[in-house]
Structure formats: C-alpha cells, structure tokens
Amino acid sequence: MLEFGRVLTAMVTPFDVSGEIDFSLTEVLIEHLIANGTDTLVVAGTTGESPTLSSDEKLKLFKFVVEKVNKRIPIIAGTGSNNTKASIELTKKAEEIGVDGVMLVVPYYNKPNQQGIYEHFKAIAEATKLPVMLYNIPGRSVVNMSVETVVKLSQIDNIFAVKEASGDLNAMTEIISNAKEGFVLYSGDDGITIPVLSIGGHGVVSVASHVIGNEMQTLVKLFLEGKNEDAAKLHQKLLPIMKGLFIAPNPVPVKAALQSIGVNAGTVRLPLVPLEDNQVKFIENLLK
C-alpha cells in the first residue's frame, strides 16, 4: 500500500470571479502546498467545496492536479457522495485519470443505517483497485459510522484508512485497537492532532496546513520523537489559528487566510459567501 504520510491537506478549490474553477490559481496553490510540507493532496473533499462541483468539474480537477503534481506526492480524490452508483462511476473515472487513492464520505441526507453504510462503502471499494479512505463526519452527514462498521470495513483489502471527524477519541481508540493490521486512522480535526496521535492515530487530514503546513509537520515530528513538551507548546501556539479557520463555514476562512499570506485561492461558490470585513481582519491578525 502506498504511504500517504502524516499531514494530508484537504485542498481548497480556487474559483475565478465568474465562479468557474481557476486552473492557473490551482497550479500556484499546488506548488505552495507542496513547498509547505503537505505529504498528500486530498482533492474535492468538503474543503474543496465538493457539493457544488459537478462530476465533470471534479474529473477535470483530478486530471489537472495529477498532471501538475506529476507523482511528486500522492493524490487522493474525493469521489464519495450519497449516491452509491454515481460514486462508483466517479471512482472508476478517477482511477483511469491516475489518482493514487479515493476518499469516500459517509452518505449524507439519506440517513442510511449501519448496514446501508457498510454496503455502500463495500460496493465502491470492490469497484476499484485504488486504496480507499473512509470519511466519518457526523456533523455534516448527520449519521455517525459506528466503530463496528469501520472495523468490519477495515477487513476489505483496499480500505486502508479512515478520516475521523467525529471528535470522539473513545471511538477512535476502539477503531485503532480493533481494525485489521495496517489500517490507519487520521484525525479530521487539526485541533486534536496530538490527542489522536497519542492514542495511536497516524496523522491528520488538515485544513490549517494551507497556511501552517510546515508547522503541522513539526508538530507531528516532535510528538513522534517523544518530545511531548515541545509538541504541546507548539500545539498551544497553533491552536488559535486552527480554531480561527472555522469562524465561518469551511472553506471560507481558509481561502481568506491564503489571500492574506499572498496565495490567491479565489472566491467561494454559493450557498457559501465570503467573510465580512471584520472577519477578514480577524484572520489577518491571527496570522501575524
């Protein structure tokens, strides 16, 4: 199984003033993220505004990122949705394009039971040879994938990881303890990176790494080297930024944060709206 690293960035999707994907800004963003400590790019996830991207746009974005990255780091494509058949089709096309893995979110809105969640992920995983990362985010999908379901899914050969954004460290501990050998768990929240590492988690799928990628790498490295006090101090220093990037719906603040460090990631698509002036000031002060 390909090694995806410890700090994965859930990449924003840059849009131009007319609301179309801006590929020239995307290229600049890719170079910025690679230079700033990102081990893997996760494309067209929540932070990439996946709900407002058409399948065709997602495929164009995957193709562009694959070509520009040119195998320097791995690329995970967000191909999950609440439509199993459509997710299978998108996953197969993403595999043809040459992505290195896929991320599949727990189906939102339909509210399936645990058996439905299991069958959904199993069907998609069996339709591809790519490594599959599950994505549990009950705050957005309403349903929470249970420990038992994750453990059962971990037995499927190409399901290699879960991105856990439930915030439930007890559940995460049980997953790490009971999943198959080699299955890894990533924190879906920057703010609990150290607690997740301390219970045996592998790393973080990060939003904050857009602006503090190298610092996130240092944080993980310090902890893994047993320099817990140094890691804790750095965590305390970075936490206001991690929290500040969620003063409005993600990815609105992180696009403003990128702008403030000189990386133009464009605007957001409706139903998201840009930050108000006082919020922009707050983000700018935070990054000073």
Note the pLDDT tens digit of each residue in 68-97. Answer: 999 999 999 999 999 999 999 999 999 999
- Cα dihedral 92/97/100/105 (nearest 10): -50
Burial class of residue 114, CB neighbours in 10 A (0-12, 13-18, 19+): middle
Q: Are 21 and 61 in contact (CB under 8 A)?
A: yes
**Tokens standing for residue 226:** 């047993």
Mean pLDDT of 234-246: 98
Show the tokens assigned to 80: 């999950």
Give residue 2's pLDDT: 77
CB 268 within 8 A of CB 251: yes
Strand-pair category, 101-105 with 184-187: unpaired
DSSP state of 79: -
Which fold is adopted by the domain 7-228?
TIM Barrel (3.20.20)
| Closest residue by Cα to residue 231 from 247, 245, 217, 220 | 220
User: Across the chain, what does the average pLDDT equal?
Assistant: 98
Phi, psi of 103, deg, nearest 5: -115, 130
Closest CA to 265 of 278, 251, 277: 251
pLDDT number for residue 167: 97
Percent of the chain with pLDDT over 90: 99
Q: How far apart are CA 30 and CA 27, in angstroms?
A: 5
* pLDDT over 80 (residue 274): yes
What is the distance between the alpha carbons of residues 13 and 152, in angstroms, rounded to a whole number? 33
pLDDT, tens digit (0-9, with 9 covering 90-100), for 98-119: 999 999 999 999 999 999 999 9
Instruction: Report CA Rg, the chain.
Output: 18
Domain positions in the chain: 7-228
Nearest to 203 by CA among 2, 1, 3: 3
For 259-273, the pLDDT digits (tens) are 999 999 999 999 999
When pLDDT is cut at 50, 70 and 90, the band that residue 1 belongs to is low
- DSSP-assigned letters across all residues of 45-73: STTTTGGGS-HHHHHHHHHHHHHHHTTSS
Span 241-251, average pLDDT: 98
Sign of CA dihedral 143, 147, 149, 151: positive
Mean pLDDT (whole number) for 274-282: 98
Amino acid, single-letter form, for residue 275: L
* Active site residues per annotation: 135, 163
| Tokens describing residue 164 | 């856990």
Q: What is the pLDDT of residues 158-196, one digit of tens each?
A: 999 999 999 999 999 999 999 999 999 999 999 999 999
Query: What Å distances lie between residue 87 and 17, 51, 81, 142, CA to CA?
Result: 29, 13, 6, 19
With tokens 């503090």, the residue in question is: 212
